[in-house]
Amino acid sequence: MTKRVVVDPVTRIEGHLRVEAMLDDSNHIQDAMSSGTMWRGIEVILQGRDPRDAWAFTERICGVCTTVHALASVRAVENALDIQVPPNADHIRNIMFLTQYVQDHVIHFYHLHALDWVDVVSALKADPAATSVLAQKVSPKWPLSSPGYFADVAGTVKKFVDSGQLGIFQNAYWGHPAYKLPPEANLMAVAHYLEALKWQKEIIKIHTVFGGKNPHPNYLVGGVPSAIAMQGDNAINMERLNLIRDLIPQAINIVENLYLPDLLAVASFYPEWTKIGGGLGNYMAYGDLPQNGIGDISKFRIPRGIILNKNLAEVLPVDPADPAQIQEEIAHSWYKYPGGQTGLHPYDGVTDPNYTGPQPPYQQLEETKAYSWLKSPRWKGNAMEVGPLSRMLVGFASGRTDYKDVVTEALGQLKVGPDALFSTLGRTAARGLETRLAVHWLQDEFDQLLANLKNGDSTTADTRSWSPETWKAESKGYGFTEAPRGALCHWVQIKDQKIANYQIVVPSTWNASPRDAKGQHGAYESALLGTPMADPKRPLEILRTIHSFDPCLACASHVIGPNGEKLAEVIVR
């Protein structure tokens, strides 16, 4: 008899996601549904507005993914208006981009995903002296590793448990049979959870220097809003650049001596998860981090490409502007298109909600009908996975030495082959390996910026096309980037100096999409198939795989009322 497990909402993510999994008699997942339960209407809000302001609206889709939406938006408008930004602007944008990568990936591991592998309550059974020995073996260069330090951490956890109020550790499946770490490893991980929590607020000061604030740092069509005057008081000066110079080595220390050692240590206890959660086997990356302008894709630090059917011997090209490649379908989505259900390229995209699901609260959704506020984007008809694993595989398959080196080293330490990458644990490991690359790229981008400034080049924007009077009557453009969670693109059509149409396809729309007209599952759904569950009433295994993607449903969908009614109308005069 088929059993159905419903996880709603999936927690430790951004936004609202519902997952329904159908189990066979041996408690293996035989089918799954991923449902975004909130509607996103930012595209409707943007129609008729000044395209130079679009970044400020799109950036507020999410409080986590902020800077990447602004980056994709300004690039889309620049592409439409044929604007080339100066080299310093590319370096500063890259620094902002990499700062978010490093912070976001570290936060994801410790504060969103590690608790799927780490049993916090088990840490109370740990011997602080034995934990100290383990920590010095795992992270020999990390200074906080004394028995007294771990005894203090254990005391803090005990206060939580004894009070019956676990706070940030509430409502988890502690004691679940799928947890395998010994108590000392659990205590070490909890201690490092707290260390990473203190550190992450420091690295984002880089956003406040170049963008004025975090979240939602400022951007500018034509460059960056960062005036530079090395000896000035009212611009970015040497004092602020020195602050950044000091923050980057701290980030390198966190990544090299805390995050990666912990990741590999935890992974070593779960070898079976290198064979679970592989999913689609199709991977896509738009690429990013330009080194010779956004138009020279060959010089991107993150390469662009498609891998189909796990074939690392061939990297196929992808073009976000090509209507024959990228389309969004709605066969199982709560939307309607003027021409029926035929997929549309985002340039011609339509955001017209059409809720046909059951009236909430409901017990289950129907997989044969529409069941999500997310559309189903496809590349040449193929469902694709995007994110750190996709980027690492495209880089590896492209023959990039930097990618090959970090991947080969990690596989060697875990004593597994390349096939282990096609899994839940491979997806988790890929994020850590990418962070190792990113934090050193961050240092290099900053050094290149300083070199330009020392050579007398302080230009950060090109505003020659700022005035609408210089624009064509009609134009269209797209702006892509690689958000921490995967391939992101914005498409804009400009007519009579205003936005005529605006469409966004975010990473979680690719990954969390419902099945399409051909019945193809999205990446989440596919990755869950075949997963064994030890206790269906405590679906820890579902969380492990879903969290390995780092969902951001706030980007993929936004809110309306429970019955589909408009909650508010704001008229701007």
Residues with a catalytic annotation lie at: 14, 62, 65, 69, 485, 508, 552, 555
User: Measuring CA to CA, which residue among 356, 385, 353 is closest to residue 487?
Assistant: 385
Tokens 């975090």 belong to: 214
d(CA 249, CA 573): 48
Tell me how far CA of residue 34 lies from CA of 21, 28, 72, 375, 551, in angstroms. Answer: 9, 17, 26, 11, 11
Token pair belonging to 266: 């935890």
Q: Which residue, 160, 158, 178, is CA-closest to 170?
A: 160
In angstroms, how far is CA 510 from the centroid of its own chain? Answer: 12
Question: Residue 67 corresponds to which amino acid?
Answer: T
Tokens 């008699």 locate to 25
Residue 480 to residue 74: CA distance in whole angstroms: 10
**Residue that is written with structure tokens 């997989």 in the block:** 367
What letters, b where the CB count within 10 A reaches 16 and e where it falls short, cover 380-415? eebbbbbbbbbbbbbbbbbebeebeebbeebbeebe
Which of 343, 350, 297, 337 lies closest to 44 in space, CA to CA? 350
Residue found by looking up tokens 């206790």 in the block: 535
